[in-house]
């Protein structure tokens, strides 16, 4: 069984953090820190464990933020190309998961010490990521922080460059939202432009995730960017754009689909049949489709389907699922079957009764059929 992420915040890690703080500052209360940071650890989840360590840093590091910052910098492991997600504390210094509570400490208590905090974020992100902490500064001093991020977009360290796009995501999961950039993402666009052809996939994927955040509030803006970026684009940039547009593709956003080369489908729906008119919960819905091209040219097609799940009030809520992407030859026919499991998942509550499956081609609905879901 895979080890839960929360267990990376272990007493061993906390003790290792204390060891390095004590090396950097002989006055550090190692025993007090370990006792405080590891209190009731087994009862805490990941973010709660990190927050407790952050609180203990506030208690046991010097009250003077400048002194505390010097100690944290001195405690860091060597700057080298490590797997920051899995690296553990060793005698070389702090890296990996131990960085997360330190980043939060800087975000919470370093707001009046801008230059030192930026130095800390830059060094901490080289050994993990400062994406959550720097958001405090983007909220308080957006222009000043964006100016720093602009410089970092040209930094030789790819972790620093990734921080530029990941830390500024308007809707970063697990992180504070950035309302001003949700309302107006234009200040972020020059940063993403500078990173769109970064040599590291790690950075380019972050750029795509930032654009996907923006797409949730400004779909036409992202469609326009997609069209511009795909002009004379290489395969790496094409992958970035497609990943950035994943939400808009599922939504059938026509401007985005057109930018990606998917026009209105010229197809005839020959057959659409639900082969399991009644589905027992835990089993699968089975349906089949036959499409024929009515075009004399080959046409790229994104074929998706939506399940309209029954809600408690008797209404329905659609969820789009990917099916296949293909190029249909002139006047050719495509026939395919699909199984969709109707089983328990943590993100959905199922209700018995009439459901619906809908076929979508290039974002256009070609029709729907009903089926009954039985739940004992």
Main-chain dihedrals φ then ψ at residue 236, nearest 5 degrees: -65, -45
| 285-307 residue pLDDT tens | 999 999 999 999 999 999 999 99
- What is the C-alpha end-to-end distance of the chain, expressed in Å? 31
Q: Give the CATH H-level superfamily of domain 5-259.
A: ARM repeat domains (1.25.40.290)
Closest CA to 79 of 126, 143, 115, 39: 126
Looking at the chain, the whole-number percentage of residues with pLDDT higher than 90 is: 93
- The backbone torsions φ and ψ at residue 343, rounded to the nearest 5 degrees and listed phi first, read -130, 170
Q: What is the mean pLDDT of residues 214-219?
A: 98
Phi and psi of 126, rounded to 5°?
-65, -20
Q: Which CATH class is domain 267-374?
A: mainly beta
Report in angstroms the alpha-carbon separations of 373 from 259, 305, 314, 346, 355.
38, 17, 13, 18, 7
pLDDT band, residue 41 (cuts 50/70/90):
very high
Chain segment 322-350, per-residue pLDDT in tens: 999 999 999 999 999 999 999 999 889 99
pLDDT digits (tens, 9 = 90+) for 262-275: 999 999 999 999 99
User: What pairs with residue 307 in β-bridges?
Assistant: 319, 357
The model carries a pTM of 0.89
pLDDT tens for residues 97-119?
A: 999 999 999 999 999 999 999 99
Query: What was the pLDDT predicted at 367?
Result: 95
Is pLDDT of 357 > 60?
Answer: yes
pLDDT at 251: 92
The whole-number average pLDDT for the span 65-77 is 97
pLDDT band at 91 (very low <50, low <70, confident <90, very high): confident
Each domain of the chain, given as residue ranges in start order, spans 5-259, 267-374
**Structure-model confidence comparison of residues 180 and 6, the more confident one:** 180
pLDDT band for position 1 (cuts 50, 70, 90): low
What's residue 83's pLDDT? 64
Query: Among 87-96, 129-138, 367-376, which stretch is predicted with the lowest mean pLDDT?
Result: 87-96
In whole angstroms, give the CA distance from residue 298 to residue 209: 31
What value does the mean pLDDT of the chain take? 95
* Dist CA 33 CA 30 (whole Å): 5
**SS3 call for 299:** strand
């Amino acid at each position: 069984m895979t080890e839960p992420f929360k267990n990376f915040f272990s007493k061993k890690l906390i003790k290792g953090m204390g060891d390095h703080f004590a090396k950097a500052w002989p006055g550090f209360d190692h025993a007090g820190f370990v006792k405080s940071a590891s209190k009731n650890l087994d009862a805490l989840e990941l973010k709660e464990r990190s927050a407790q360590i952050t609180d203990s840093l506030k208690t046991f590091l010097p009250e003077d933020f400048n002194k505390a910052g010097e100690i944290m910098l001195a405690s860091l492991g060597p700057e080298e190309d490590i797997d920051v997600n899995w690296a553990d504390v060793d005698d070389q210094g702090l890296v990996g998961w131990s960085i997360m509570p330190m980043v939060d400490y800087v975000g919470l208590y370093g707001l009046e010490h801008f230059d030192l905090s930026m130095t800390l974020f830059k060094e901490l992100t080289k050994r993990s990521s400062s994406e959550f902490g720097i958001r405090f500064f983007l909220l308080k001093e957006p222009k000043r922080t964006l100016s720093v991020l602009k410089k970092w977009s040209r930094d030789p360290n790819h972790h620093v460059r990734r921080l530029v796009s990941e830390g500024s995501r308007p809707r970063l999961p697990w992180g504070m939202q950035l309302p001003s950039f949700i309302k107006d993402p234009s200040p972020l666009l020059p940063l993403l432009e500078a990173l769109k052809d970064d040599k590291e996939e790690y950075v380019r994927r972050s750029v795509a995730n930032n654009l996907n955040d923006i797409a949730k509030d400004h779909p036409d803006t992202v469609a326009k960017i997609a069209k511009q970026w795909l002009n004379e684009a290489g395969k790496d940039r094409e992958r970035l754009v497609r990943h950035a547009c994943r939400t808009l593709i599922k939504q059938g956003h026509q401007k985005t689909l057109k930018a990606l080369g998917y026009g209105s489908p010229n197809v005839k729906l020959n057959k659409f049949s639900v082969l399991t008119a009644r589905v027992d919960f835990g089993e699968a819905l089975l349906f089949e489709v036959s499409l024929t091209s009515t075009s004399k040219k080959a046409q790229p097609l994104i074929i998706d389907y939506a399940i309209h799940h029954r809600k408690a009030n008797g209404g329905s809520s659609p969820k789009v699922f990917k099916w296949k992407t293909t190029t249909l030859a002139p006047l050719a026919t495509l026939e395919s079957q699909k199984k969709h499991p109707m089983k328990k998942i943590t993100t959905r509550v199922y209700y018995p009764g009439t459901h619906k499956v809908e076929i979508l081609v290039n974002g256009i609905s070609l029709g729907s059929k009903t089926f009954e879901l039985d739940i004992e």
